[in-house]
């Protein structure tokens, strides 16, 4: 069986913190800036661009600009990814959302 997925990426800058960080990484309790990298993957049913990249990316960018870009929040990468998955599942057959801090460390949330 073959399944086809398309994906888009985008970034946003924001301040966040982990207010309950353990002592060994207590600096994470303070707000700090990251450029968050987001990858949204959706399932398609064929190979004739059922979901257009430009449209999907524009929709992702719109949500990031309104809800996350230049914001201050207490959300983890896992929480941002889960929120985005829930938001986009009404429009697309979302497979996964990946969110990382500065493209280095992050989380992958997969719909099962």
Q: Using one digit for the tens of pLDDT, what is the confidence trace for 54-87?
A: 999 999 999 999 999 999 999 999 999 999 999 9
Distant-in-sequence, close-in-space partners of 74: CB < 8 Å, separation ≥ 6: 16, 17, 18, 19
> What is the model's pLDDT at position 46?
85
Domains of the chain as residue ranges with CATH: 4-110 (3.30.479.10)
Q: pTM of the full predicted structure?
A: 0.95
Total number of residues shown for the chain: 112
Burial class (CB in 10 A: 0-12, 13-18, 19+), 41: buried
> What is the model's pLDDT at position 69?
97
Structure tokens belonging to residue 57: 């990316």
């Amino acid at each position: 069986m073959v399944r086809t997925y398309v994906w888009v990426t985008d970034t946003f800058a924001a301040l966040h913190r982990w207010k309950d960080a353990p002592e060994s990484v207590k600096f994470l309790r303070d707000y700090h800036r990251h450029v968050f990298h987001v990858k949204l993957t959706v399932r398609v049913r064929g190979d004739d661009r059922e979901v257009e990249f430009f449209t999907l990316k524009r929709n992702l960018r719109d949500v990031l600009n309104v809800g996350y870009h230049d914001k201050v929040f207490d959300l983890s990468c896992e929480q941002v990814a889960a929120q985005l998955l829930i938001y986009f599942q009404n429009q697309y057959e979302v497979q996964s959302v990946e969110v990382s801090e500065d493209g280095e460390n992050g989380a992958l949330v997969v719909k099962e």
